[in-house]
């Protein structure tokens, strides 16, 4: 078969080049030019003439009214891994395409092989196409798992056309592509992993999913910048994007939805990596707080909203005398800029001084604080460490801190407090404008950082 002609298009501005170039001739962006196939549509006359000429105008597609479109409840295939099903919104939707991103070694292949094993046990046909590992290696991995993955169809293949043919041959319900960076299509000349290849293969997989009703799950490696390689293009194409994260050295793995056409986003699923694969953690708050020791300064608990679910985490801070000229600020799990803001607010508005101290802040279990509602807990941990006074053990901290030092209420307060109550917390330090309807938990109004310092340092 003659190879289709390709063009080289800039992924930033869309300018077409006849040959590959390192820098776009139009917008001067580096490394943005990617190969794509030229689709030659057979004898389509363009514009008005095609219609006016009568004869061979293509039949018009007929639109329907929204109310005439039949709705059927969305079918979902449960993987049987509760936390995985939870972040997906209840299970894998037939005909959908799911992307799982994450750093190497985080557990993507393990998770998918476990899910594949359970889906096969539940009567679904799963094709696991692996370009990263040979079928022998997959077999070794499978032997370690608690699940019996014996029935899963495996294929050590990286040519997309061959994978799709195999999927059709076994009438797969679900196709796993591990990983998208290793597959290539015959329609392009460039190497696997190249932006053009990643994009074209994803596009073909999406069409395959929609046309055949097969669910497609692709693994994507995360680049140093944190995005899934083959830039944002991949995320735009697929229906659902999950990120698998966590410190590789820690046992906990966090699976997070950043896009979901069939469920809510920002949902968090928690797993622990064991000798027999990943095990869902049904009660993340309890696990995240399990290692917390009472009576230690520099520790504060807060309740984060992770999607629809509240999760309690511990923030730890250590302020220690600096041995060097410029004191260090080391933040793990919190944006260093946010830490700088909070330190400045504490200095100016509450007359505390961290100027000669090294400051270390971390969040337990590899969780990242992204919402401002966690500010108060960070400030409380800092103050507690500075004065070497432990925060009361039955208190959680909820609130956002403004530049004036004022403390504002956080959203979804009832659900956060309910989760705190479940784990035995009795008091909430937060804005006096928030109220608690939950029995057994009271709000201790704290409206300014100065008041927080007075309360904690007392
Ligand atoms: P893997 O799934 O290969 O990661 P990815 O596909 O994201 O690159 O994860 C491999 C890591 O998990 C590796 O360090 C070994 C470890 N592991 C376990 O601890 N227990 C197990 O049962 C398995 C299969 C792997
Ligand atoms: Mg892998």
The answer to whether 234 and 258 have CB atoms below 8 angstroms apart is no
pLDDT in tens, 97-125: 999 998 888 999 999 999 999 999 999 99
Ligand 1 contact, 143 CB (< 6 A): no
> Which segments of 20-159 does DSSP mark as H helices, in order?
47-52, 82-88, 108-121, 135-144
Inform me whether the pLDDT recorded for 53 exceeds 60. no
CA of 115 to the centre of ligand 2 (A): 14
pLDDT of residue 44: 46
Q: What is the largest CA-CA distance in the chain?
A: 89
Ligand 1 contact, 141 CB (< 6 A): yes
Residue located nearest, by CA, to atom 11 of ligand 1: 105
- pLDDT confidence tier of residue 54, bands split at 50, 70 and 90: very low
Ligand 1 contact, 109 CB (< 6 A): yes
- pLDDT confidence tier of residue 381, bands split at 50, 70 and 90: very high
H or E stretch at 408: strand 407-408
Strand 309-321 to strand 277-280: parallel, antiparallel, or no bridges (unpaired)? Answer: unpaired
In the beta sheet, which residues pair with residue 176? Answer: 128, 217
- Phi then psi for residue 276, to 5 deg, are -110, 35
Quick one: CA dihedral 288, 290, 291, 292, positive or negative? positive
The rounded Cα 418 to chain-centroid distance in angstroms is 25
Distance CA 95, CA 169 (A): 17
Closest ligand 1 atom number to CA of residue 273: 19
What is the percentage of the chain residues whose pLDDT exceeds 70?
93
Neighbours of 343 (CB within 10 A): 22
Q: Which residues contact 253 (CB under 8 A, 6 or more apart)?
A: 106, 107, 244, 245, 246, 270, 271, 272, 273, 278
Strand 309-321 to strand 299-306: parallel, antiparallel, or no bridges (unpaired)? Answer: antiparallel
Structure-model confidence comparison of residues 20 and 11, the more confident one? 20
Distance CA 137, CA 145 (A): 13
Inform me whether the pLDDT recorded for 385 exceeds 80. yes
Residue located nearest, by CA, to atom 23 of ligand 1: 277
Point out the least confidently predicted range of 60-69, 228-237, 320-329, 418-427: 228-237
Neighbours of 42 (CB within 10 A): 4
Straight-line distance from the first to the last Cα atom of the chain, in angstroms, rounded to the nearest whole number: 81
CA of 140 to the centre of ligand 2 (A): 13
CA of 111 to the centre of ligand 1 (A): 9
Rounded average pLDDT over 169-184: 95
User: Mean pLDDT of all residues in the chain?
Assistant: 89
Inform me whether the pLDDT recorded for 290 exceeds 90. no
Question: In the block, which residue shows the tokens 């069409």?
Answer: 207
Distance CA 136, CA 156 (A): 9
Distance CA 303, CA 101 (A): 26
pLDDT in tens, 124-176: 999 999 999 999 999 999 999 999 999 999 999 999 999 999 999 999 999 99
CA of 146 to the centre of ligand 1 (A): 13
Rounded average pLDDT over 70-91: 91
Point out the least confidently predicted range of 27-36, 180-189, 207-216, 270-279: 27-36
Closest ligand 1 atom number to CA of residue 277: 22
- Ligand index nearest the alpha carbon of residue 108: 1
Closest ligand 1 atom number to CA of residue 133: 3
What is the percentage of the chain residues whose pLDDT exceeds 90?
64
Ligand 1 contact, 139 CB (< 6 A): no
- pLDDT confidence tier of residue 180, bands split at 50, 70 and 90: very high
DSSP state of 182: G
Question: In the block, which residue shows the tokens 């939805």?
Answer: 257
pLDDT of residue 12: 81
Question: In the block, which residue shows the tokens 């799950």?
Answer: 217
Distance CA 297, CA 312 (A): 18
- Ligand index nearest the alpha carbon of residue 141: 1
Ligand 1 contact, 131 CB (< 6 A): no
CA of 106 to the centre of ligand 1 (A): 7
Question: In the block, which residue shows the tokens 């289709």?
Answer: 4
Distance CA 69, CA 71 (A): 6
DSSP state of 13: T
Strand 309-321 to strand 400-401: parallel, antiparallel, or no bridges (unpaired)? Answer: unpaired
The answer to whether 299 and 292 have CB atoms below 8 angstroms apart is yes
Distance CA 126, CA 411 (A): 42
CA of 22 to the centre of ligand 2 (A): 30
CA of 220 to the centre of ligand 1 (A): 15
Ligand 1 contact, 144 CB (< 6 A): yes
Distance CA 234, CA 212 (A): 20
CA of 110 to the centre of ligand 1 (A): 6
Point out the least confidently predicted range of 36-45, 54-63, 307-316: 36-45
DSSP state of 334: B
Distance CA 184, CA 160 (A): 6
DSSP per-residue letters across 48-76: HHHHHT-TTPPPPPPP--GGGS---PPP-
Residue located nearest, by CA, to atom 25 of ligand 1: 277
pLDDT of residue 56: 56
């Amino acid at each position: 078969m003659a190879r289709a002609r390709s063009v080289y298009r800039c992924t930033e501005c869309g300018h077409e080049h006849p040959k590959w170039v390192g820098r776009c001739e139009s917008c001067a962006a580096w490394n943005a030019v990617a190969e794509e196939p030229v689709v030659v549509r057979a004898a389509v006359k363009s514009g008005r003439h095609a219609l006016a000429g009568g004869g061979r105008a293509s039949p018009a597609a007929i639109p329907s009214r929204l109310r005439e479109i039949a709705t059927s409840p969305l079918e979902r295939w449960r993987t049987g891994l509760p936390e995985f099903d939870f972040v997906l919104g209840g299970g894998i939707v037939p005909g959908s395409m799911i992307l799982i991103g994450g750093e190497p070694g985080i557990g993507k292949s393990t998770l998918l092989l476990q899910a594949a094993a359970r889906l096969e046990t539940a009567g679904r046909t799963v094709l696991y196409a692996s370009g990263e590992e040979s079928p022998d290696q997959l077999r070794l991995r499978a032997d370690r798992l608690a699940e019996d993955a014996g029935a899963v169809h495996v294929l050590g293949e990286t040519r997309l056309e061959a994978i799709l043919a195999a999927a059709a041959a076994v009438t797969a319900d679900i196709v796993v592509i591990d990983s998208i960076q290793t597959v290539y299509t015959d329609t392009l000349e460039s190497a696997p992993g190249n932006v053009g290849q990643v994009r074209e293969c994803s596009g073909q997989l999406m069409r395959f999913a929609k046309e055949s009703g097969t669910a497609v799950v692709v693994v994507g490696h995360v680049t140093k910048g944190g995005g899934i390689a083959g830039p944002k293009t991949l995320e735009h194409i697929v229906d659902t994007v999950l990120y698998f994260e966590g410190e590789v050295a820690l046992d906990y793995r966090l699976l997070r939805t950043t896009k979901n056409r069939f469920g809510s986003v920002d949902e968090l699923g928690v797993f622990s990596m064991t000798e027999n694969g990943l095990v869902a953690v049904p009660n993340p708050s309890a696990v995240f707080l399990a290692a917390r020791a009472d009576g230690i300064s520099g520790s504060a608990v807060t309740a984060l909203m992770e999607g629809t679910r509240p999760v309690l985490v511990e923030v730890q801070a250590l302020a220690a005398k600096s041995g060097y000229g410029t004191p260090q600020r080391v933040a793990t799990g919190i944006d260093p800029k946010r830490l700088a803001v909070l330190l400045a607010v504490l200095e100016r508005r509450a007359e505390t001084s961290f100027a000669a101290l090294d400051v270390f802040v971390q969040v337990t279990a590899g969780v990242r604080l992204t919402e401002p509602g966690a500010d108060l807990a960070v400030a409380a941990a800092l103050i507690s460490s500075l004065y070497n006074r432990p925060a009361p053990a039955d208190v959680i901290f909820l609130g956002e801190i403004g530049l004036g030092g004022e403390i504002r209420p956080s959203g979804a307060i009832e659900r956060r407090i309910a989760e705190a109550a479940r784990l035995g917390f009795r008091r909430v330090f937060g804005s006096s404008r928030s109220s608690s309807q939950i029995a057994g938990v009271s709000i201790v109004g704290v409206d300014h950082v100065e008041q927080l310092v007075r309360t904690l340092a007392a």
